[in-house]
Structure 1
Amino acid sequence: MSTTLTDRRITEGPELPVQKRRRRPTLGRMLLPIGVVVGLILVWQLACSVFNIPTYIIPSPVEVWQSLSENWAMLMQNTWPTLIESVLGFALGNLVAILLAVLFVHWKLAERALMPVAVFIRTIPIVAVAPVLVIMFGQGYTPKILIAALISFFPTLVNMVKGLESVDKQSLELLRVLSASRNEVLWKVRMFASLPYLFASLKIAAGNSVIGAIVAEWIGSQEGLGYLIIQATYNFNTPLLYATMTVASIMAVLFFGLIGLIERLVVTWEADVKA
């Protein structure tokens, strides 16, 4: 029996590892989080009714829904500026992070010189940077886009560097034997290996960019969801405050879902990547 298996292995060659395909999301997996959200909303409504919580402290889901309906036009009008700032900041921050990651992988001196600077910038609170940028660039789109870019930049830089360096050494040796150029190694091997790491960081940056835009609008703005949050807080309009936060959360979730959808279309294999 063992002799037959050995002969068969010698004849057919060693078994090659098979790449795992991503599992498609089933209806049950999609309904589970929806059910949890619905359950939390019901608990929220029940708690407000049983304990008679005042509206100015915590409004009930029904009151938040009424505020959403009554202020829908105003909410949508202020959603567009925040969306523009988030998307442009997301694109700018991640583009710079990817370009720097490629530079760091090919030029280690640049990594040793600039990575500490990137870490230092990351440690500065956004609420401290925002006023400086508003003073420098005014209350237009520019400071909001820059802040959204700053808050999206660092996770992508770190993950992209790790992804570009995660290439199998045997693959690199093979390309060197074949006299492949740096550009060929980058586009044919390194970029391919870095995609799971890149999308893991992009999903983090998707939510961060929305947060960055809203925080920037707190400092100086006459429009946007951040501006609405400040106005609702000052006027003790708690239902509008919760309605605005709901719209911002939905926007961030949709942004996250869009990145996840693109990932499923591009990265069709499973990878062990920790964000």
Structure 2
Amino acid sequence: MPRFLKEFFNRNGTGMGLIMLGLVLFWTIGLIILPQLSMLDFSFRPNLPPPEYGGPKDVYTLENYQYLIFGPEGGSQSYNSVDLRVFYRTIIAAIFVTLFNLILCYPIAYYLGQSKGNHIRIFALMLIIPYWINEILRAFALRIIFGESGVINSVLMGLGIFDAPFDFIRNDIALYAGLGYAYILLMIFPIYNVIESLDRNQIEAARDMGASWTKIHRRVVIPYAKPGISSGCTMVFMLSAGALAAPQILGGPSSLWFTQLIYQQFNDNNDWPQGAAYAIVLLVTCILFVLAIMRLFKVNMGDIGK
């Protein structure tokens, strides 16, 4: 038996260790790996009626992936400009939401991690309480707030900034704000957990040596918080790129999300192989982004999982 398993069973006991190990294996293999492998297999299959499954036409093919790039055969364009544009816009928007959350959440996480007192617990509780409400209800609430007769337009018009209501939904401002708000805790708490363990004496020593606040964060805090930053960026990007409820509720007519295309292929077109191919493309893109984040911050998977 490997050494780490011996230590695991010695620490938790044989019975509890087997239960915990079985649950982890069931979660990892049964609920993650096997469904993804099934999706991968679907993505290489042609879209056939059920009676033809396993027949001579049910062979592996790349046509579902080719459709994403080139579109339908005999189309008027040489490539699938609509779906590729939606895919590109989704990835860029997810990166923008990730950067926005990082800029917004880093000061909050630093304040929470380096401050002491009961008011910090109250502040943290105020951040958590809104998330007791269902995500869909929060999205509808944001749609009301950003609507033409919503709170924001009422305030801006009352102050004389706008003469007429501004369409935050059609301009995708409500969508980006909704995505950023939906995953803000997933950026704050990984960074907070790391910064909380940072010795304040390091910051005080850098300040005594004449370092500015910018240099203190660039040379001391940020390098120490890299695992939390990379973990937060990874989760926010993947969830933003894979969001479905927020784009459907808060998105304007021209803000089609790639996950909505996947949903249409599965449910509206009943084309599971095509939907599976689109889902695999999005999954691989997210994995490549995670690897890029790890390389950028020079962290490994163990650091992200801390």
Q: Structure 2 length normalisation: TM-score? A: 0.59
The offset of 1:96, in angstroms, is: 1.2
* Letter of the 1:70 counterpart: G
1:93 aligned onto 2:93: no
1:261 aligned onto 2:295: yes
* Letter of the 1:257 counterpart: L
Change (3 A) 1:124 1:251: farther
Listed as ranges, the gaps of 5+ residues in structure 1 are 1-36
Cross-structure match for 2:246: 216
Question: Using the alignment, how far apart are the partners of 1:243 and 1:271 within structure 2?
Answer: 30
Cross-structure match for 1:75: 83
Question: Using the alignment, how far apart are the partners of 1:242 and 1:42 within structure 2?
Answer: 8
Instruction: Decide whether the 8 Å contact of 2:105 with 2:188 is kept in 1.
Output: yes
Question: Using the alignment, how far apart are the partners of 1:203 and 1:59 within structure 2?
Answer: 36
Q: Which is bigger in relative contact order (C-alpha 8 A, separation at least 6)?
A: 1
Which residues in structure 2 correspond to 1:1-275 (within 5 Å)? 41=40, 53=53, 62=62, 64-65=64-65, 67-68=67-68, 69-70=70-71, 72-108=80-116, 111-135=120-144, 136=146, 137-168=168-199, 171-172=201-202, 175=205, 178=208, 183=213, 186-212=217-243, 214-219=244-249, 220-222=251-253, 223-232=256-265, 233-264=267-298, 274-275=305-306
Counting matched residue pairs gives 231
* Letter of the 2:123 counterpart: L
Point out the structure with the larger helix share: 1
Instruction: Decide whether the 8 Å contact of 1:166 with 1:193 is kept in 2.
Output: no
Cα deviation code 1:214-242 (max 9, x no counterpart): 43223344323133234332232334422
Question: Using the alignment, how far apart are the partners of 1:208 and 1:80 within structure 2?
Answer: 16
Q: Structure 1 length normalisation: TM-score? A: 0.65
Listed as ranges, the gaps of 5+ residues in structure 2 are 1-35, 73-79, 147-167
Aligned to 2:270, what secondary structure does the other structure show? coil
Instruction: Decide whether the 8 Å contact of 1:156 with 1:202 is kept in 2.
Output: yes
Change (3 A) 1:185 1:40: same
Question: Using the alignment, how far apart are the partners of 1:81 and 1:162 within structure 2?
Answer: 32
RMSD: 4.1
